Each structure stands twice: as structure tokens, then as C-alpha cells.
Structure 1
Amino acid sequence: MISVARFEKARNGEITRIYGQEEVVCPVCGGALKVHGTCIRKVRQGDHTHQYHLRVMECRCCGKTHRELPEGIIPYKRHGLNSLCEIAEATETQHTCETSTWLRIRFWLAWFLWYAQNIMEGLIAAGQIPVTFHPGHSLRRRTASFVRLAANSGNWEQHRSAMTRKCIPSILVPS
């Protein structure tokens, strides 16, 4: 997958078509990408489910395929960025979803922010991103920046083992 910040939306009934407007390279080998096809992606935003028609890109060098994801769509997640952040920021009495979903989203987001912070520090140490890189202060801005960073650097973890509460840093809890 490739996260794109600049994209064009074209709405056709229930489906929104997404066209990236920036030159991106393969996160695996750095090769040039070409449009290979399209796919449909469903994303929950609050009480509604939106359908997005996304481009599938193929690397001309290594042949790997990647989906072009606009900001707001989290790889391998059913909820969109705004929905995830709203659920994660809700208190135990405020959340509008099942308690197990609320806990799972909070734990995943805390783990992801911790993981992405480490990716960022490693990329800064390797000189691949500037020392002045700042993901933002709000939960939404940090998550969006870190999703883009993890996806485009080839460090997105598709599957991770289950973690207990003791393993997850308390990033979401204000100090």
C-alpha cells in the first residue's frame, strides 16, 4: 500500500473514485509504479459505510502491487481515520460502539503510535527523513502522519501478534 496526501476525488453515486496526484515509488524496492487496475474498499465513517474505488499500482522493477490509499483510510482497518480517533478519544461512558471494539481500537492505536514513533526515530537516525520532521500534536494529525510514514517506508505491519495491556504504552492517556 501507498499513502497519498494529494489526491482527486470523483463521486459517482455511492462510490468515490480516488486518483493520486503525486509521484510515488515502490516502498519495497524504490522502483517506478504504473497503474495495474482498481479495487473497491469499504470504510466506516461514523454510522455510514463509504465505498472507495482505489487504484492498484504495480512496480515496474519488482512486480509487487500496492493500493493507493488517500489520507483518511487506514490500511487493513474497517474504520476511517476520523472514526478511529473519535472512538479512541472517547471515555468509557462516551463511546458509541461495543466496549470490546472500543478497547481493541484504543489498544491498537496506542501500539501503532508507539511503533510508528520508533520507525520515525530510525528513519531520522538513518538520514532518510529530516530531523525537523514533526507528525503533529493532535491524535488525528499524528495518526495520519504516522500511517503515511509507516506505509510509504515499507514498514507497515499487516499482522501483529496479540498484545496484552502491559505491553502497550499509555500514549492515549493524558499526563
Structure 2
Amino acid sequence: MKTLKPVFFVRSLEPFCCPCCRGEKATVIGSRNRKIIETSEGNPQTKTIRIRRLKCESCSRIHHELPGSVIPYKRHAVKSVEAVLEGNISLVIVENSTIRRWVSWFDGLTCHLLGVLNTMTKDNTVEKTPFPGTRLQRLRQYVGETTGWLSRVVHQAVKQNLWVQTRSAFSAG
């Protein structure tokens, strides 16, 4: 006999704003399940969340409504990835190869995220006097030191339609 696992439904309280055309109206065209691996108390658990699919009425693009605990295209919850990037590897139970991939992913994306945050600030004083410290420290100067900094950075990039969605495995030309 099969036991049913709980499914968590996600619905944003924020008003919809299309990251592509800035349209403010969307139609719900369905939903899809997404599995997220969360590590709580040293115990990895898989949760299923149901996210809504929204179609912008202005540009007809389809968007998925992601909660703050999810990084696009990642299976693990943002808390786990954030803990590894901060060096708290003992809080997360993942393979060493996963840790290396996360660190490599973050290293490759950090300059882009710093650029996104720099363009979002009203005065571009950062170009004249760059923040000192590592890339992680510079990111935290934009979004704060408290837990959840990675979620804030990622979702700002997603909202501005500046999230790097694909990586090419070859170079054309």
C-alpha cells in the first residue's frame, strides 16, 4: 500500500509583475510539482511543493511562482546552499561533489549578481569606490548579513529577468 506524502501549495502574497514586460496581470494556467530537499536537524527530507504556472496577459510568457526557499534549477533548499557557501558544511548532509558544484556555481555567478545589485541601487557609487572584501562579503553589503541573504539576491535577479538560466556546453564559431 502506498502512503501519500503531503504536498505544499505555494501562492505569493506579492502582486504579479512580469519580469519581461512589467505587465501586472497574469492568468493561472496550471501548476506543477517540484521536489525540494531540505536538511533540518541533520536529516535530509524531500518535500513536494506545488507551484503555480502564470501566463502574462501582456507578453504571453509563462512564469513559475517560486517561494523564497527555492533557487531556480536547484534541488536543495536555499538554506542548505547558503550554509555551504558560508562554510557551515557540518549543517548540511550532501556529497562532496555537490558541495564543489555549489561553490563553483556561486563563484561563476557572483560577479553577475554583484552587477545586478549594482544596477538596482539608485546611485552607482559602487563603481567609483568598490566595497572591500570577498565577493560574498560584497554581496552581503547589498542585502544584509542576516540569514536568507542568498534568497534575497537570487529573487532580485529573477524579478529583474536577469537570472542566468542556461549555460552553454560549447562555444559557437
Regarding TM over 0.5, the answer is yes
Q: Deviation of residue 161 (structure 1)?
A: 4.8
After the TM superposition, which residues 71-150 of structure 1 pair with which residues of structure 2 at under 5 Å, given as runs? 71-90=68-87, 96-124=93-121, 134-138=142-146, 140-150=147-157
Q: 1:21 aligns with which of 13, 16, 19?
A: 13
Q: 1:33 aligns with which of 16, 19, 26?
A: 26
Say how many residue pairs are matched.
145
After the TM superposition, which residues 50-89 of structure 1 pair with which residues of structure 2 at under 5 Å, given as runs? 50-89=47-86
Corresponding position of 2:129: none
Q: Deviation of residue 124 (structure 1)?
A: 2.5
Corresponding position of 1:7: none
Q: Which has the higher strand share?
A: 1
Based on CA coordinates, which of the two structures has the bigger radius of gyration?
A: 2
Is 2:11–2:51's contact at 8 Å kept on the other side of the alignment?
yes
Q: If the length of structure 1 is used for normalisation, what is the TM-score? A: 0.72
Distance in 2 between the 1:55 and 1:126 partners?
Answer: 35
Q: Deviation of residue 119 (structure 1)?
A: 0.6
Q: Deviation of residue 144 (structure 1)?
A: 1.2
Q: Which has the higher helix share?
A: 2
Q: Deviation of residue 26 (structure 1)?
A: 0.8
Is 1:113–1:143's contact at 8 Å kept on the other side of the alignment?
no
Gaps of 5+ in 1: 1-11, 128-132, 163-175
Q: If the length of structure 2 is used for normalisation, what is the TM-score? A: 0.73
Identity among equivalent pairs (%): 26
| Partner SS state of residue 117, structure 1 | helix
Is 2:79–2:148's contact at 8 Å kept on the other side of the alignment?
no
The reply to whether residue 154 of structure 1 matches residue 161 of structure 2 is yes
The letter of the residue matching 1:23 is P
Which piece of structure 1 moves more, 74-83 or 91-100? Answer: 91-100
The letter of the residue matching 1:69 is L
Distance in 1 between the 2:117 and 2:84 partners?
Answer: 25
Is 2:80–2:92's contact at 8 Å kept on the other side of the alignment?
no
Is 2:30–2:52's contact at 8 Å kept on the other side of the alignment?
yes
**Alpha-carbon RMSD:** 2.6
- Runs of 4 or more above 4 Å deviation: 91-95
Distance in 2 between the 1:119 and 1:113 partners?
Answer: 10
